[in-house]
Structure 1
Amino acid sequence: MKKVGILGGTFDPPHYGHLLIANEVLSALQLDEIWFMPNHEPPHKKKSEYIKNEDRLQMLEHAIQGNEAFKIETIELHRQGPSYTVDTMKMINAEYSGHQFFFIIGADMIEYLPKWHEIDELVNLVQFVGVDRPNYSHQTEYPVLYVEVPALDVSSSMIRERMKTGKTVRYLLPDPVIQFIEERHLYGT
């Protein structure tokens, strides 16, 4: 049975924090692959209205290049309306019946689990894996494996703000992603 971690997010833009989390979970749980799953419309926040899905997907492709264990799953990009994880996992489990899935979430989402859509059904479809995030607790009544990840306090919103104000983002995201952003004049560059 193939063991696959799923890291969902807007990846707006994808950065070294995402890659670090994916790599640490891959290693700690001895998974076969990590699938990066960009959201179309996450139910808990609004994605940047000016960044097209195609651009986010291309940035993600640039970010993961060179790591054979990192793949992209686009199932949520093809759906309309809010992307509920329970619906996504039903579809993925049906399509990949020989796989065991581990859904990676940050400590901010661990605290939010009681509010997830159909959480009681979802915990039967996927194993949650929690990773630390500064200023959040990882205590929950739901079954969550915990993986320690070195602290890297970086976020996509912080990167967007730095780019908008002309600050450097070097060493916060891969150079091919920075180059793509600059070529496309994204985030005010």
Structure 2
Amino acid sequence: MSMDSARRIALFGGTFDPIHEGHLEIAQRAKDALALDEVRFLPCHTSPHKLGVLSAPPEDRLEMVRLAIADLPWAVADDHDLTCPQPAYSFLTAEEMARRYPGSRLFWLMGADQWRALPRWKEPERLAKAVEFIVFARDGRPEAHLGWRMHFVPGTHPASATALRGMIAGGKAPLWLPPAVADYIARKGLYKP
């Protein structure tokens, strides 16, 4: 299978705590810009960068992803990072996806802040061998990392999971949530102190 005809799959890892319209817009823009066949949303078990944050349990975050993408035929909620041995390092996830989808062209979708931090991730060279990176950035094209394949997708969205959790904890109506996700959060009483 040539690179041009290979199935194009983006891996979109994150806490999705909660998933919001900004995540969906990023995925849609990446899909359109790179003619992706599929975007796999991979909620992580716990983020090493967000310890001590009021958080929804992993199974609720996965369900919120499922609800948010229910009407997007190109989007998949993937529980790999929740069910594999922990910690679920990105390079191991990418290598597993390469085994699951042989012949596919794999991409890793991330924000500019993650792109800048990538050299400090666990085994970034192994991740870079398995995927091409799609970097969503507000402030222009991010600086390249030598030898790593990167595609830039410009854009902005005001949504912030941190702000959403604060709104919910404070009893305010949250912005930027798909209706099914907002209903789920209310029904389950998530993010209440």
C-alpha distance after superposition, 1:2-21 (max 9, x if no partner): 10111110111000000000
Candidates 19, 22, 25, aligned match of 1:20: 25
CA 1:62–1:132: 2 relative to 1, 3 Å: same
Question: After superposition, what is the alpha-carbon deviation per residue over 1:46-86, rounded to whole angstroms, capped at 9, x for unaligned?
Answer: 38565221111111111111110111111100024322111
Aligned 1:1-189 pairs, distance under 5 A: 1-46=6-51, 48=53, 50-133=55-138, 138-141=142-145, 142-149=148-155, 151-170=156-175, 172-188=176-192
Distance 1:119 1:59 in 2: 29
CA distance in 1, matches of 2:47, 2:32: 27
Seen in structure 2, the aligned counterparts of structure 1 residues 47 and 41 have a Cα distance that, compared at 3 Å, is farther
Deviation at 1:143, TM superposition (A): 2.9
Q: Partner letter of residue 44 of structure 1?
A: H
The runs of 5 or more residues in structure 1 that have no matched partner are none
TM-aligned CA deviation for residue 104 of structure 1:
0.4
Aligned counterparts of 2:80 and 2:52: Cα–Cα separation in 1: 17
State the alpha-carbon separation in 1 of the partners of residues 32 and 72 from structure 2. Answer: 13
**How many pairs does the alignment contain?**
186
Paired with 1:181 and 1:75, the residues of 2 have a C-alpha distance of 23
TM-score with structure 1 setting the length: 0.91
Taking the aligned partners of 1:143 and 1:53, their CA distance within structure 2 comes to: 31
CA deviation profile, 1:140-170 (whole Å, cap 9, x unmatched): 3243110122x11211111001111122214
Distance 1:145 1:87 in 2: 21
Determine the C-alpha separation between the residues in 2 that align with 1:183 and 1:155: 21
SS at match of 2:159: coil
SS at match of 1:139: coil
